[in-house]
């Protein structure tokens, strides 16, 4: 029953976002009430007039009047239904937007939690509909209750038992449907992770990048097997719940079928005792109406029941609190310095970074090198404040990270990762992350593409920076190689004008020569920027001001290239072994 809060929240949200709903629903309710009561009175009037010997034309006249009233009311309802449709469409978009916006306020580490991912996909996929229908059914519930009271009042003037009987049956039906709702909820909770798995597998078969593997390796058979297993699991879950649900639903419909004959029987019994033919005739209509209303009422109640259980998930998602995101903090000024002091961090129990100490000043070109798994990307995520460190601190311009507003920080400190996402928008928009509207913005995009070395490739497309990336929506879309996508992402980082710009192995898909050219270019064009290069290739490091060598989450060597070479430690060994591959095999002692 605590889910009822979510029902009220849905209704509150709908009225808050679209107050017009309130007015239109009052008008719909009043007209529905009139439309329900009119037929009952029409019958009574006709029979009474007939018994009193009124002429056919008088009776037809009255019927005509009622018909006009009913047509008028129907027209009003038709007009109001446009308001309902307008609200239904827009409210769902509003909720979807709220859910998407909430994402920015969810801490990054939640995305590693499977329960969160299940709830999150459920919220995004179903939240707008569930919240809307939860609110909408409550509105129709109120409307139907008011209509029912009108009819109850008419029937119970003479026969309260009929009302009592109808209400009791209705309540039993609600309880039955509650069970059905609960079973459905349990079923969907078990199905959700399976659907997520199946969607993933379906998606792989759409991915252009996966096509070559699918055609040439054994991965296709493995994925198909998994797809088959997940589908079988889903069938099993369905079998488990379907029978139980069907039995409860069947019992419910049998009960509902009993309302009409029961009410009619009671009405008939009392009417014939008193021999009131006019009352009997109108009460017959009332009995039909009440049976319909009650079955509608209980259906609405049952729908609310299941919708409020379902709207719990998106509401919980919307009310999630985070330790980092969306909590505000001090706005961040222009970058001068960044210090890392005795920093420790681990994703779970295991420490990934230990006792790190570093300093970066405005204009520095710093390199962090180390083997895969040494903790380099983890440090980048900490610098972007996707996580907070467990011990020690990161200090920006003398201010500790937790005191800063993360979104303001990320305007100054930004990163490009190894596997960047490119989006199906134009090249210009991919770089600028907004539409390219002015000449200055166009120039910025061009500068950024030159910085990353993609400019010449882009100019080969007829529409230049206006070319749509991917062929998802346009045959003439740009198809980029892995290296080109990395360059596009580097251009994006440049255009965002990060003052501390981190490049986390963004050149891994380039050949050594192209990579060397890229770094040279970046060092030249990014003179005034503070650049932090992360790599396990050392060709990038020679021209850097300072180099940190990571191993298993600790800094094992630090200094300028020449100093580290003189040390003849790990850096020296790595550099020599790589120079054989990349720098023509020249050994450096």
C-alpha dist (Å) from residue 223 to 218, 220, 236, 243, 345: 9, 5, 20, 31, 35
- Which two tokens mark 73? 């009311």
Report, in Å, the least distance between residue 515 CB and ligand ADP. Answer: 17
Which backbone phi and psi does 343 adopt, to 5 degrees?
A: -80, 130
Of 111 and 434, nearer to ligand ADP (C-beta) is 111
Compute the distance between CA of residue 198 and CA of residue 185 in angstroms, rounded to an integer: 19
Report, in Å, the least distance between residue 117 CB and ligand ADP. Answer: 13
Report, in Å, the least distance between residue 374 CB and ligand ADP. Answer: 4
Quick one: which segment of 24-32, 175-183, 311-319, 375-383 binds ligand ADP (CB under 6 A)?
375-383
Nearest to 196 by CA among 112, 253, 120: 120
Report, in Å, the least distance between residue 578 CB and ligand ADP. Answer: 16
Compute the distance between CA of residue 463 and CA of residue 420 in angstroms, rounded to an integer: 23
HSE (side-chain half, CA atoms, 13 Å) at 447: 15
Compute the distance between CA of residue 147 and CA of residue 174 in angstroms, rounded to an integer: 19
Of 100 and 347, nearer to ligand ADP (C-beta) is 347
Which backbone phi and psi does 493 adopt, to 5 degrees?
A: -60, -40
Report, in Å, the least distance between residue 401 CB and ligand ADP. Answer: 18
Report, in Å, the least distance between residue 360 CB and ligand ADP. Answer: 18
Report, in Å, the least distance between residue 423 CB and ligand ADP. Answer: 23
Interacting positions 473-502 with ligand ADP (CB under 6 A): none
Pairing outcome for strands 554-559 and 546-551: antiparallel
Of 112 and 437, nearer to ligand ADP (C-beta) is 112
Quick one: which segment of 222-230, 370-378, 406-414, 455-463 binds ligand ADP (CB under 6 A)?
370-378
Report, in Å, the least distance between residue 228 CB and ligand ADP. Answer: 30
Quick one: which segment of 70-78, 199-207, 365-373, 408-416 binds ligand ADP (CB under 6 A)?
365-373
Quick one: which segment of 143-151, 160-168, 174-182, 371-379 binds ligand ADP (CB under 6 A)?
371-379
Compute the distance between CA of residue 133 and CA of residue 154 in angstroms, rounded to an integer: 31
Of 110 and 195, nearer to ligand ADP (C-beta) is 110
Single out the residue of 377, 426, 507, 540 in contact with ligand ADP (rule: CB under 6 A).
Answer: 377
Compute the distance between CA of residue 459 and CA of residue 74 in angstroms, rounded to an integer: 62
Compute the distance between CA of residue 431 and CA of residue 478 in angstroms, rounded to an integer: 14
Report, in Å, the least distance between residue 538 CB and ligand ADP. Answer: 14
Compute the distance between CA of residue 298 and CA of residue 137 in angstroms, rounded to an integer: 11
C-alpha dist (Å) from residue 518 to 113, 503, 508, 523: 37, 12, 12, 9
What is the rounded end-to-end Cα distance, in angstroms, of the chain? Answer: 76
Query: Site size for ligand ADP, by CB under 6 A?
Result: 11
- 176 within 8 A of 248, measured Cβ to Cβ: yes
Single out the residue of 289, 378, 452, 535 in contact with ligand ADP (rule: CB under 6 A).
Answer: 378
Compute the distance between CA of residue 414 and CA of residue 558 in angstroms, rounded to an integer: 23
Single out the residue of 376, 412, 492, 529 in contact with ligand ADP (rule: CB under 6 A).
Answer: 376
What would the x/- binding string for ligand ADP be over residues 345 to 364, using CB under 6 A? --x----x------------
Quick one: which segment of 144-152, 318-326, 372-380, 444-452 binds ligand ADP (CB under 6 A)?
372-380
Compute the distance between CA of residue 410 and CA of residue 187 in angstroms, rounded to an integer: 41
Place of tokens 């295991």: 350
Q: Is 574 in the site for ligand ADP (CB under 6 A)?
A: no
Report, in Å, the least distance between residue 557 CB and ligand ADP. Answer: 15
Interacting positions 420-459 with ligand ADP (CB under 6 A): none
Single out the residue of 150, 170, 262, 370 in contact with ligand ADP (rule: CB under 6 A).
Answer: 370
Nearest to 136 by CA among 65, 83, 204, 175: 83
Of 370 and 506, nearer to ligand ADP (C-beta) is 370
Interacting positions 94-153 with ligand ADP (CB under 6 A): 112
Report, in Å, the least distance between residue 353 CB and ligand ADP. Answer: 8
Of 373 and 464, nearer to ligand ADP (C-beta) is 373
Q: Is 390 in the site for ligand ADP (CB under 6 A)?
A: no
Of 420 and 453, nearer to ligand ADP (C-beta) is 420
Compute the distance between CA of residue 87 and CA of residue 343 in angstroms, rounded to an integer: 52
HSE (side-chain half, CA atoms, 13 Å) at 395: 15
Compute the distance between CA of residue 585 and CA of residue 577 in angstroms, rounded to an integer: 8
Q: What's 417-471 look like in SS3? A: CCCCCCCCCEHHHHHHCCCCCCHHHHHHHHHHHHHHCCHHHHHCCCCHHHCEECC
Place of tokens 């079923």: 187
Which backbone phi and psi does 341 adopt, to 5 degrees?
A: -120, 120
Quick one: which segment of 374-382, 423-431, 442-450, 452-460 binds ligand ADP (CB under 6 A)?
374-382
Single out the residue of 128, 252, 375, 483 in contact with ligand ADP (rule: CB under 6 A).
Answer: 375
Q: What is the DSSP letter of 478?
A: B
Report, in Å, the least distance between residue 352 CB and ligand ADP. Answer: 4
- Which two tokens mark 361? 């000043």
Contact positions toward ligand ADP, by CB under 6 A? Answer: 112, 347, 352, 370, 372-378
């Amino acid at each position: 029953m605590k889910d009822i809060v979510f029902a009220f929240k849905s209704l509150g949200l709908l009225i808050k976002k679209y107050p017009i709903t309130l007015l239109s629903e009052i008008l719909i309710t009043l007209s529905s009430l009139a439309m329900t009561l009119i037929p009952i009175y029409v019958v009574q009037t006709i029979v009474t007039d007939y018994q009193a010997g009124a002429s056919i034309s008088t009776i037809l006249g009255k019927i005509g009047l009622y018909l006009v009233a009913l047509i008028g009311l129907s027209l009003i309802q038709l007009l109001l239904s446009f308001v309902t449709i307008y609200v239904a469409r827009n409210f769902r978009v509003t909720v979807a937007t709220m859910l998407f916006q909430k994402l920015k306020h969810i801490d990054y580490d939640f995305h590693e939690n499977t329960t969160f991912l299940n709830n999150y996909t459920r919220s995004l996929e179903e939240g707008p509909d569930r919240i809307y229908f939860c609110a909408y059914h409550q509105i129709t519930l109120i409307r139907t209750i008011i209509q029912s009271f009108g009819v109850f009042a008419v029937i119970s003037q003479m026969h309260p038992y009929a009302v009592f009987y109808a209400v009791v049956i209705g309540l039993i039906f609600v309880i039955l449907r509650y069970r059905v709702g609960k079973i459905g909820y349990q079923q969907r909770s078990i199905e959700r992770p399976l659907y997520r798995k199946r969607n993933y597998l379906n998606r792989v078969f759409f991915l252009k990048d996966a096509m070559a593997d699918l055609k040439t390796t054994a991965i296709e058979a493995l994925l198909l097997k998994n797809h088959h297993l997940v589908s079988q699991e889903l069938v099993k879950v369905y079998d488990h719940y379907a029978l139980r649900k069907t039995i409860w639903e069947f019992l419910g419909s049998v009960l509902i079928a009993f309302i009409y004959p029961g009410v009619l029987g009671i009405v008939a019994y009392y009417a014939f005792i008193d021999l009131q033919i006019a009352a009997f005739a109108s009460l017959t209509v009332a009995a039909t109406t009440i049976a319909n209303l009650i079955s509608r009422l209980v259906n609405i109640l049952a729908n609310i029941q299941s919708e409020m259980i379902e709207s719990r998930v998106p509401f919980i998602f919307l009310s999630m609190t985070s330790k980092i995101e969306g909590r505000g903090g001090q706005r961040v000024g222009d970058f001068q310095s960044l210090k890392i002091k005795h920093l420790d961090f681990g994703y779970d129990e295991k420490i990934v970074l230990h006792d790190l100490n570093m300093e970066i000043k405005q204009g520095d070109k710093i390199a962090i090198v180390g083997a895969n798994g040494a903790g380099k990307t983890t440090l980048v995520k900490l610098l972007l404040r996707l996580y907070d460190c467990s011990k020690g601190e990161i200090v920006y311009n003398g201010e500790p990270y937790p005191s800063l507003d993360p979104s303001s920080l990320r305007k100054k400190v930004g990163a490009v990762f190894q596997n960047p996402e490119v989006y199906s928008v134009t090249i210009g928009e991919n770089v600028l992350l907004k539409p390219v509207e002015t000449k200055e913005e166009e120039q910025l995009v061009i500068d950024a593409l030159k910085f990353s070395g993609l400019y010449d490739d882009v100019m080969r497309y007829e529409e230049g920076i206006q070319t749509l990336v991917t062929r998802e929506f346009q045959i003439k879309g740009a198809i980029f190689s892995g290296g080109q996508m990395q360059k596009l992402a580097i251009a994006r980082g440049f255009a965002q004008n990060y003052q501390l710009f981190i490049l986390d192995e963004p050149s891994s898909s380039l050949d050594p020569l192209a990579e060397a050219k890229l770094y040279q270019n970046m060092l030249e064009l990014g003179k005034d920027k503070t650049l932090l290069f992360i790599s396990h290739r050392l060709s990038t490091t020679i021209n850097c001001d300072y180099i940190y060598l990571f191993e298993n989450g600790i800094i094992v060597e630090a200094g300028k290239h020449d100093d580290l070479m003189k040390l003849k430690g790990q850096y020296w060994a790595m550099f020599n072994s790589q120079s054989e591959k990349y720098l023509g095999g020249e050994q450096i002692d």
